[in-house]
Amino acid sequence: MIDPREAMTLGDACQNPDGTYNTFKMLSWMSEVLNPGNGMTEADVRRVYDERKKNEQRARSANPGDTGAVPPPRDVAFGG
């Protein structure tokens, strides 16, 4: 298996044989493009994703009525 961060193109980094793309490999490749030499490994991307999902589940169980929907922005007047 190739390290996505070493691929020259997005397709080389993360295209599956059926033509779909592996999101974790794509994010690893993109992190290397944006931060040369400091990109996240595929395992790092998966770890961050898993942590985020766990935190989201914990928040939902603590607030069962919260749908997670973001309210629309309001006009706010500053100053006086």
| Domain residue ranges in the chain | 23-62
Is this model's pTM higher than 0.85 or not?
Answer: no
What confidence score (pLDDT) does residue 34 get?
95
State the pLDDT confidence band at 75, using cuts at 50, 70 and 90.
low
Handedness of CA 61, 65, 68, 71 (dihedral sign): negative
Angle of the 42-62 helix axis to the 23-34 helix axis, nearest 10 = 110
Q: Do 10 and 22 touch, CB atoms closer than 8 A?
A: no
What confidence score (pLDDT) does residue 56 get?
87
What confidence score (pLDDT) does residue 59 get?
84
pLDDT in tens, 1-28: 578 999 999 889 998 889 899 999 999 9
